[in-house]
């Protein structure tokens, strides 16, 4: 039974990271209706910025996380202004190709600056602790707490503030939102900033128990797309539930079957659930 709860905790941990990345992705999709493949590169950039701030400038973990969130939020807004905005009236395929171009550009930039080697990010929370009889790494508890806190904070922001209401209104009907005076440019930039900051924080939370390398965003963005399709494109609760389902499936599948197949499990689950419910677990509009 102890092993079961250990895997449950591991699944919730990685599920929390996936949910944060998927939330940013689904927010952008809700506004632009374009799959932002560059989101994986923003996740990677967040890890590298924090790695640089801690390693070269000597900042502590939390300041590095804050600096990384700000830097990637700015980077994400620049991508919107310089790449996605000029393509607003172009066919959707152009946006997708542009997003892949940003992904490759940022990866090449990271490789030029830090090389292709794997780097390990240090954390002040590397010790093991006892929780209800389980021995767990403190960093995993930090990831779980951080993911829950950010999801609650984002939910309150979207549902309890006027600014959040403008984002929801624009996601539901962009033209209608413009007619009632909502500044579409400001809201779009804000969504990209939030999306980038979420990706950066997720990367900094997860990097100490993983590694930092230029292609680290590939698998994460692939699974984030699986999650938002599984949960329902553009659905806020779908991104959270989908992330937890994939995280738990990976943890239990890797433990009871083989870790060699844990990445495959996400895609098998996607096929199985979509064959029963093609629109995803949550319909769009359940923001």
For the stretch 114-151, pLDDT in tens is 988 899 888 788 788 887 777 888 888 899 899 899 98
| Mean pLDDT along residues 161-179 | 81
Handedness of CA 252, 256, 262, 264 (dihedral sign): negative
- 234-244: pLDDT as tens digits: 778 888 888 88
Selected residue with higher pLDDT from 54 and 175:
54
For residue 46, pLDDT beyond 70? yes
| Mean pLDDT along residues 53-69 | 93
For residue 164 the two structure tokens come to 């959040």
| Mean pLDDT along residues 263-268 | 77
Residue 270 has a pLDDT of: 75
Structural domains of the chain in order of their starting residue, each with its CATH number: 1-276 (1.10.3470)
Selected residue with higher pLDDT from 44 and 32:
44
- 240-261: pLDDT as tens digits: 888 888 888 888 888 887 777 7
How many percent of the chain have pLDDT more than 70?
Answer: 98
Residue 286 has a pLDDT of: 43
Q: Which of 20-24, 143-147, 181-185, 271-275 has the lowest mean pLDDT?
A: 271-275
Most confident of 31-40, 47-56, 174-183: 47-56
Instruction: Count the Cβ atoms, other than its own, within 10 Å of residue 239.
Output: 30
Residue 284 has a pLDDT of: 53
| Average pLDDT score, the chain | 86
- 63-115: pLDDT as tens digits: 999 999 999 999 999 999 999 888 888 887 888 899 999 999 999 999 999 98
């Amino acid at each position: 039974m102890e092993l079961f709860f250990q895997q449950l905790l591991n699944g919730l941990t990685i599920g929390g990271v996936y949910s944060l990345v998927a939330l940013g992705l689904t927010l952008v999709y809700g506004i632009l209706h374009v799959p932002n493949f560059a989101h994986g590169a923003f996740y990677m950039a967040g890890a590298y910025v924090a790695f640089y701030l801690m390693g070269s400038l000597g900042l502590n973990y939390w300041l590095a996380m804050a600096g990384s969130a700000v830097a990637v939020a700015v980077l994400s807004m620049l991508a919107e202004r310089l790449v996605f905005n000029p393509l607003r009236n172009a066919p959707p395929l152009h946006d997708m190709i542009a997003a892949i171009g940003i992904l490759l550009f940022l990866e090449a930039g990271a490789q030029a600056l830090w090389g292709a080697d794997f780097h390990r990010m240090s954390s002040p929370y590397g010790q093991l602790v006892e929780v209800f009889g389980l021995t767990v790494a403190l960093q995993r508890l930090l990831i779980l707490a951080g993911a829950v806190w950010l999801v609650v904070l984002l939910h309150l922001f979207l549902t309890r503030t006027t600014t959040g209401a403008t984002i929801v209104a624009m996601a539901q009907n962009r033209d209608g939102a413009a007619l009632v005076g909502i500044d579409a440019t400001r809201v779009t930039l804000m969504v990209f900033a939030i999306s980038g900051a979420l990706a950066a924080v997720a990367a900094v939370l997860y990097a100490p128990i993983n590694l930092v390398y230029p292609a680290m965003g590939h698998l994460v963005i692939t699974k984030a797309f699986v999650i938002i399709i599984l949960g329902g494109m553009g659905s806020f609760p779908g991104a959270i539930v989908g992330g937890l389902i994939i995280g738990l499936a990976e943890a239990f599948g890797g433990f009871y079957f083989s870790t060699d197949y844990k990445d495959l499990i996400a895609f098998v689950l996607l096929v199985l659930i979509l064959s029963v419910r093609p629109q995803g677990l949550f319909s769009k509009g359940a923001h």
